[in-house]
Amino acid sequence: MRILRAAGRAAAPWSNGGGVTREIAVHPPGAGWDGFAWRVSLADVTRDGPYSPLPGVRRILTVVDGAGLELTVDGTPRLLPGRYRPFAFPGGATTASRLLDGPVVNLNVMLREGRAEGAVEMVGGAWSPEPADGPEPADGLLVVALDGATRLAVRGKSGVPGEPGESEVRLERFDAVLWTGSEALPDGLRTDRTVAVVRLSGRPLG
């Protein structure tokens, strides 16, 4: 388990000047735009404009701060008002966004087709892998605190709530916790605020 603090994340400007992005995690570690299997980031969006095309990449976008936006994907508008509504779309599509009422922050999950699959869930309370989820993620599990300071209780393979086997991590807003395939993934999580749980795999998720 690795704690990835929001403080000190480098901000990279978008090529169209519409905002900045901050990388939370990428696989393989250190991979650039042409080499990642999956990438998770937070983007500050300050104005309307087109998205850069990313052929061969599936995207899952979630507004996590601000009034929301309207995405137009290959000519079809999709309204994303408010927060915490994951929306998946092909990165190669012609896409533009319009802010509904001022700047927003987006959680962006990018998945290279043929190399990674993923799913994003908004969780407030308890979370555990369901049997229908299939095998554990090959590459990792990422939890991002979205709603302010959070106490995240992590249940291990041999633990049950309230007994040895459960540990607690304190996260500030936009801090994250990452488990990779080489580490023991948790049996369950509990949180007192809203977090994004991002399951990431090199094979399809059930």
Domains of the chain, by residue range, sit at 8-112, 117-201
pTM of this structure:
0.89
User: In the CATH hierarchy, which fold is given to the domain comprising 8-112?
Assistant: Jelly Rolls (2.60.120)
Per the CB < 8 A criterion, the answer to whether 25 and 139 are in contact is: no
Q: At CA 83, angle to CA 22 and CA 191, rounded to 5?
A: 80
Instruction: Using the predicted structure, report yes or no on whether residue 200 has a pLDDT greater than 60.
Output: yes
Each residue of 56-76: pLDDT tens digit?
999 999 999 999 999 999 999
Of 97, 76, 123, 95, the residue nearest 19 (C-alpha):
97
Cis peptide before 28 (omega within 30 of 0): yes
Each residue of 10-60: pLDDT tens digit?
999 876 667 889 999 999 889 988 899 999 999 999 999 999 899 999 999
In CATH, the architecture of 117-201 is Sandwich (2.60)
pLDDT band at 7 (very low <50, low <70, confident <90, very high): very high
Phi/psi for 131 (5° steps) reads -55, -35
**Hey, do 8-112 and 117-201 end up sharing a CATH topology, with the first three levels equal?**
yes
Per the CB < 8 A criterion, the answer to whether 122 and 84 are in contact is: yes
